[in-house]
């Protein structure tokens, strides 16, 4: 009769590849799940800000000029808000140089000053490429100029603040309560400028917009480092060109004094706005509050709008790319990939190098491996951001660290199993049995029964079927024992073909019943044994001993009594159970 022999006897050990895959899957699943709670969001933003501040300084945008007024300019004018006559004079001087489009980042819903209002209205009416602003930010909303509104030349000055009060997103457009489309001032200036060059926006099927050489995609609520963010309207990441130094700026004083070169304004975008500190039109940006860069003051709102305009124009002309994010499934794959890398490297170290080195040295090396891998992750994500791709770092970083931790825990478990389990049968080894009995015998009142089991005629089985079949037989018998006894009971391999079972808080009668049940289960395995003198199938003999509670007793005595009971089972013909029942558990000379 043939017996099927498994190719390997590591029944309970996963292959390294499967372990790595399972480890990485669990780690990345936990990391991605945590990311949806938003706990990583502030860290993601901080890293994003830091990398943006590391970007090389870009030259000023050649298509845009900012007309600013600070405290000195307001003193020169002598009033705030700027009177209508002064504003009319400023706009008149600017328009004579032929700008392509003008954006007035000033709220002008009411007349200011005694004179000049009619002149200002005339300029508003006669310059079809002049746009004003309105603010619709809830209770702080500010109305628009009725004249500009009549000619549909009003844009939004609203900016989007993240929860840390920084501006990382640009609002390109939204719809009002009536459903009408409203553009932001930055978007309006860019589209008007590009339209003069024959570039018009084209809405694609997936709600993306083709603008010249650029595809503008709306930012969704869980993209980049955002989690459940309010992405109302059409929002994108704001790809800052820089701060005030990255734009051509002219003061209002210079405009009034006619101290500006005309070619700087001709055919360009002109944006007029305040930089005076007392006006409180300032915002935090990714350049503020970073650890490794110079501390920078908040940025005037007009600079925010200029950056929005600049990014759209430059992208449409093919000069600068927009910032992009990757889909959710690629973020998950990114985290999974780093988890796979982490678990593979740590497992390789533990399996091939770590065990031949000292424990302390191995721990230090593993920490260095973690540091190197985490640094590699940060560098990779940083380089991607420098190439205008924002890839979140925290899910991947957490998955990487968690996968390494799982590897170490798994390795420690394997080492523990090597020290406490029999490698072949996967039950406790002799060392664990001795330790367990020692623990029990420190508890003076715990009733204990010990069953010693021996496979009948096992040497003949090995001689007949070979040692490989013998190993399979031992494993199957051990598994049968594990499946038969209660979970709180203890089974171990005592010797070659011998097993020991410890039953706590069990009567001799119940221990005998369990021993017979074990013998029956082994017989029912139907493992053929044609050389057996007892049966055609594998059988087992058992000896049972009981700990005496009425006198001191050692674990060695308990084992010796069970061994003698087992010997008596064999003498009586095998495949049976004998319980040691000598009065007071005295060791007898014979049964």
- List 223, 374, 497, 498, catalytic entry: 497
Is the CB of residue 569 less than 8 Å from the CB of residue 577? Answer: yes
DSSP string, 425-457: T-SB-HHHHHHHHHHHHTSTT--EEEEEEEETT
- Where does residue 326 fall: left (phi above 0), alpha (psi -120 to 50 degrees), or beta otherwise? beta
Measure the CA angle with vertex 278, ends 277 and 282; round to 5°: 50
In whole angstroms, give the CA distance from residue 23 to residue 573.
51
Cα separation, 535 vs 575, in Å, equals: 9
Q: Please confirm, yes or no, whether 497 is among the known catalytic residues.
A: yes
The DSSP code for 421 is B
Structure tokens at 533: 């003198």
The pairing of beta strand 101-104 with beta strand 64-69: unpaired
The C-alpha atoms of residue 402 and residue 335 are separated, in whole angstroms, by: 11
**Cα(28)–Cα(334) distance, integer angstroms:** 9
Residue 546 pairs with which residues in a beta bridge? Answer: 449
Angle at Cα 11 formed by Cα 8 and Cα 14, nearest 5°? 95
Distance CA 14, CA 12 (A): 7
C-alpha Rg value of the chain to the nearest Å: 41
On whether the CB atoms of residues 543 and 498 are closer than 8 A, the answer is: no
> Burial of 412 by CB count in 10 Å (0-12 exposed, 13-18 middle, 19+ buried)?
exposed
Catalytic residues: 497
């Amino acid at each position: 009769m043939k017996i099927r022999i498994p190719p390997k006897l590591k029944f309970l050990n996963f292959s390294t590849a499967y372990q790595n895959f399972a480890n990485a899957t669990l780690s990345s699943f936990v990391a991605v799940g945590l990311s949806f709670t938003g706990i990583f969001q502030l860290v993601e933003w901080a890293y994003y800000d830091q990398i943006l501040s590391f970007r090389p300084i870009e030259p000023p945008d050649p298509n845009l000029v900012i007309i600013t007024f600070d405290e000195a300019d307001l003193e020169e004018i002598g009033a705030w808000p700027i009177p209508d006559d002064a504003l009319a004079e400023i706009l008149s001087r600017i328009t004579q140089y032929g700008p392509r489009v003008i954006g007035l980042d000033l709220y002008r819903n009411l007349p200011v000053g005694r004179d000049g209002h009619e002149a200002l209205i005339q300029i508003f009416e006669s310059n079809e490429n002049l746009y004003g602003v309105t603010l619709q930010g809830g209770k702080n909303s500010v109305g628009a100029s009725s004249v500009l509104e009549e000619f549909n030349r009003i844009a939004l000055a609203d900016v989007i603040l993240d929860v840390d009060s920084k501006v990382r997103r640009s609002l390109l457009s939204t719809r009002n309560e009536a459903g009408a489309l409203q553009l932001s001032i930055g978007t309006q200036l860019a589209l008007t400028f590009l339209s003069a060059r024959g570039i018009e926006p084209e809405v694609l099927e997936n709600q993306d917009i083709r603008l010249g050489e650029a595809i503008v995609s709306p930012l969704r609520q869980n993209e980049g480092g955002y989690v459940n963010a309010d992405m109302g309207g059409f929002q994108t990441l704001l790809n800052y060109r820089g701060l005030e130094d990255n734009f051509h700026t002219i003061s209002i004083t210079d405009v009034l004094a006619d101290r500006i070169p005309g070619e700087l304004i001709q055919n360009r975008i002109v944006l007029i706005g305040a930089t005076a500190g007392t006006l409180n039109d300032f915002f935090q940006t990714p350049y503020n509050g970073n650890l490794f860069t110079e501390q920078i003051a908040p940025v005037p709102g007009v600079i925010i709008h200029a950056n929005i305009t600049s990014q759209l124009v430059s992208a449409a002309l093919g000069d600068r790319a927009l910032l992009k994010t990757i889909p959710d499934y690629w973020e998950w794959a990114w985290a999974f990939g780093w988890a796979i890398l982490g678990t593979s490297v740590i497992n390789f170290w533990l399996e091939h190098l770590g065990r031949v080195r000292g424990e302390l040295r191995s721990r230090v090396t593993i920490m260095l491996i973690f540091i190197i891998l985490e640094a590699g992750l940060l560098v990779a994500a940083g380089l991607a951001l420098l190439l205008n791709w924002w890839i979140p770092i925290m899910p991947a970083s957490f998955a990487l660290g968690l996968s390494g931790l799982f590897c170490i825990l798994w390795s420690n478990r394997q080492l523990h199993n090597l020290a406490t389990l029999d490698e072949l049968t996967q039950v406790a080894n002799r060392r664990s049995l001795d330790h367990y009995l020692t623990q029990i015998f420190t508890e003076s009142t715990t009733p204990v029964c010990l069953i010693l089991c021996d496979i009948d005629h096992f040497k003949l089985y090995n001689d007949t079927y070979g040692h490989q079949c013998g190993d399979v037989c031992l494993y199957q018998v051990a598994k049968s024992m594990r499946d038969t006894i209660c979970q709180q009971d203890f089974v171990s391999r005592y010797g070659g073909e011998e097993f020991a079972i410890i039953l706590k808080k069990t009567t001799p009668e119940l221990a005998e019943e369990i021993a017979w049940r074990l013998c029956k289960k082994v017989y029912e395995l139907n493992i053929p044994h044609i050389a057996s003198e007892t049966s055609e199938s594998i059988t087992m003999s058992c000896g049972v001993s009981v700990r005496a509670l009425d006198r001191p007793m050692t674990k060695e005595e308990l084992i010796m009594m069970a061994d003698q009971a087992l010997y008596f089972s064999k003498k009586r013909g095998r495949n049976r159970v004998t319980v040691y029942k000598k009065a007071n558990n005295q060791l007898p000379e014979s049964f």
